[in-house]
Structure 1
Amino acid sequence: MAKAPEVSTKTAPRSTEFVVPQFTAKDYSSFCLAGALCCTVTHGAMTPIDVIKTRIQVDPALARSSLLSGGRYIIANEGPSALLTGFGPTAVGYLVQGGAKFAGYEFWKRQFCIIAGDPEAAVRYRTAIYLGASSVAEFFADILLTPLEATRIRLVSQRNYASGLVTGFTRLAREEGVRGLYAGFLPILCKQIPYAIGQFTVNEFCHELAYRSMSDETRRSLSPSATFGINLGSGVIAGFAAAILSQPADTLLSQINKGHDPEGSMVYRLVTLAKQAGFRGLFAGLGPRMIMTAGLVSGQFLLYGGIKDALGAPPGLEIHKESAKI
């Protein structure tokens, strides 16, 4: 059997043998834990905004509302506690999804770099590597997320559906079985994969643009505040991109999990709901969601990096155009 290529993270000329970091099981467990914590903290904190966004998508009375007016309407009619509806499934769902997504992205990016075969090819096809790694990682993460997301949306869209995560999940499983729990799997893939593409790919290119004009010495001597600013700005821009790319499918997902959608195959139901909503309807709630997603993505990357450092995990793979290492 051929021996696996030697692994190193040292800077090397482009003409040397292609090498990548040899992440250990401990490294991947650190990536997973950091991803799980950063996602559950940020998504949990954004629950009130997500409640308003979802209600704007599914409640005709709120269809033309802004984030502020929608929040006021919900509080006035249902009380402040209504803004925390679905907190349980949100926190648990994104705990498992976040761990699988971030660790999966690190894993698949490394695998695709190995497939590329050399530094020049990896840099040349870095966009495809980012797209492929984020898409595959998100696919497997969504298998874990979908039942909990279905529960969350049912709790938010049907105010008296259940008292919380356990009762809501149990009722949905009992009444509708696996079909009900995974009714939104296709639309959640259509939502989350573009979201992950925007999140990871745009973030990678924002960092590349920020660092491209810097020498290695300048980059090494960046102050903590400058590094924080680059990470924050990259995360905000990536968040805007993720929101725009995934908004139509997010709207359809809310409609599917609300129930009472057309009968038939999932593709037929999605097409029918899209026609009913129209272009404007598919982008209902985009403003609030862009604000929410910018906070989510930037917060996730900042927390992810901080938690990885605290755990002693290695940095992720970099294949930026001006870099001589990958």
Structure 2
Amino acid sequence: MWQSMIETAKSNPFGNPFHVAHCESLSERDLVPGRSISAAAAVSEVGDSCEFGSRKYFALCGLGGILSCGITHTAIVPLDLVKCRIQVNPAKYRSIVNGFKVTIKEDGTRGLAKGWAPTFYGYSMQGLFKFGLYEVFKVLYSDLLGEENSYVWRTSLYLAASASAEFFADIALSPMEAAKVRIQTQPGFASTLRAAMPIIYKDEGLNGFYKGLVPLWMRQIPYTMMKFACFEKTIELLYRYVVPKPRNECSKGEQLVVTFAAGYIAGVFCAIVSHPADTVVSKLNQEKGSTALEAAKKLGFVGLWKGLAPRIIMIGTLTAAQWFIYDAVKVWLRLPRPPPPEMPESLKRKLEAKGQ
């Protein structure tokens, strides 16, 4: 049986999420259950709809990203609208409750849905690249980084893969983000995506859609790095110290509960890390002709943190829901889901030796 698994791993260089490109060096002792680097992780379980690392696997992960980001961001448009208005006009929109009251008074209940179209399309495209390319880069970089499986190695892998994926995801998101912020924060501006896009192009050309790209990178890349790295590490810690049994012994429902919890924890840290840049993006897209530095100076240090409370609520819930949906899609589509990596035996022995 072990020899069969070795041969399977050799024929599938993308099968192991933690680098099995050099499977020729594997032996039967490497396939002992519990080893963190093994060809066993490369072999899809019976019933999986595709092989880990195949084109179909990456495409279905991208689909999971579309559903994950498109649905969740659209669902919280009212809270996002109020958050943006607090950021760009704190004198008028003083708090979450006040922001909702003023918005409903001025625009009616339907006004809370302003910007839903660019939000849905923009974040669906972002989700496609964010999650799909994250899986691609995770396999690619694991191949480049070598066969080590330490905590630093895995964290570096998560950070590098998520940052690379978000770089491309923001290019897809930027035009829709520009339209969304203008619709939500500029009085008298167009109220629909169809009307907003020609106005932005007429007034500012292509620059109007991408002038917020750099601050968007400043907001989203640290956010996504925290989102993925913190989530992955939290999953490892929850299964090691909180959940009373290994993941492969948990039901699908139990696994999704752990996913949601890890996602919420990651979301809180994401909100704090990326909030100043988020405020600059909102201010920048509200005003014509200004730069990110000018917007930051106008806001001041305190102004950069306006709207943090609603954003923590929003991003915490959002991130948890996104990971829940993404993981649920993986379960529903029967995608291979390698278990969280364990501490390498060599590192365990070193720690045990130090303890003695």
TM-score grouping bracket, smaller chain normalisation: 0.7 to 0.9
| Partner residue in 1 for 2:219 | 191
CA distance in 2, matches of 1:61, 1:82: 20
Corresponding residue for residue 260 of structure 2: 232
3-state SS of the aligned residue for 1:173? helix
| Structure 2: gaps of 5 or more residues | 1-10, 18-30, 44-51, 347-356
How far, CA to CA, are the matches of 2:171 and 2:42 in structure 1? 29
State the partner residue of 1:276.
298
Equivalent AA in structure 1 for residue 136 of structure 2: F
Q: Say yes or no: does 1:58 pair with 2:80.
A: no
SS in 2 for 1:62: coil
Contact 1:34–1:308 (CA under 8 A) maintained in structure 2: yes
* Deviation for aligned residue 1:271: 2.5
Task: Give aligned pairs, total.
Answer: 315
Q: 2:332 maps to what in 1?
A: 310
Counterpart for residue 133 of structure 1: 161
Give how far 1:25 is off.
1.2
Task: Write the mapping of 1:69-84 to structure 2, written as runs, cut at 5 A.
Answer: 69-84=98-113
Distance 1:312 1:17 in 2: 20
Q: Which amino acid aligns with 1:100?
A: F
Q: Is the 8 Å Cα contact of residues 115 and 180 (structure 2) preserved in structure 1?
A: yes
- Tell me the residue number matched to 1:109: 138
Asked whether the equivalents of residues 80 and 314 of structure 2 are also in contact (C-alpha less than 8 Å), the reply is yes
User: What's the secondary structure of 1:314's corresponding residue?
Assistant: coil
Residue 34 of structure 1 is matched in structure 2 by 64
Q: Which amino acid aligns with 1:56?
A: I
Is the 1:208–1:321 contact (alpha carbons within 8 Å) kept by the matching residues of 2? no
Corresponding residue to 2:315 among 283, 293, 306: 293
Please give the residue correspondences for 1:165-244 in structure 2 after superposition, counting only pairs within 5 Å: 165-213=193-241, 218-224=246-252, 226-244=254-272
State the one-letter code of the partner of 2:63. Answer: L
Find the residue that maps to 2:250 and give its secondary structure.
coil
Q: Residues 158 and 229 of structure 2 are in contact (CA less than 8 Å); yes or no, is this contact kept in structure 1?
A: yes
RMSD: 2.7
Matched, 1:86 2:96: no
Supply the distance in 2 between the matched residues of 1:286 and 1:150 (Cα, whole angstroms): 21
Q: CA deviation at 1:4?
A: 7.7
- Paired residue type of 2:81: V
Normalized against structure 2, the TM-score is what?
0.81
Kindly provide the CA deviation profile for residues 288-325 of structure 1, in whole angstroms up to 9, marking residues without a partner as x. Answer: 0110101110000111111122222222684454699x
Aligned amino acid, residue 30 of structure 1: L
Given that 2:68 and 2:127 are in contact with CA atoms closer than 8 Å, whether structure 1 keeps it comes out as yes
How far does residue 195 in structure 1 lie from its aligned partner after superposition? 1.2
Give the TM-score of the pair, scaled to structure 1. 0.88
Query: Separation in 1 of the partners of 2:303 and 2:130?
Result: 29
1:129 alignment partner AA: L
**Which letter maps to 1:96?**
M
- The answer to whether the 8 A contact 2:114-2:191 is kept is no
- Structure of larger gyration radius: 2
Aligned-partner Cα distance in 2 for 1:235–1:16: 27
1:194-250 C-alpha deviation (Å, 9 max, x unpaired): 110121111111111111247996433335554333222211111111111110000
Structure 1 pair 16/306, CA: closer, same or farther in 2 (3 Å)?
Answer: closer
SS of the equivalent of 2:85 reads helix
Consecutive unaligned residues of structure 1, counting only runs of 5 or more, are: 263-268
> Are residue 252 (structure 1) and residue 252 (structure 2) matched?
no
Deviations 1:149-185 (A, max 9, x none): 0000011111321131121112212321111110100
Distance in 2 (alpha carbons) for counterparts of 1:323 and 1:42: 40
Query: 1:134–1:196: 8 Å Cα contact kept in structure 2?
Result: yes
Of the structure 1 ranges 39-48 and 77-86, higher mean CA displacement relative to structure 2 is found in: 77-86
CA apart distance, 1:187: 0.4
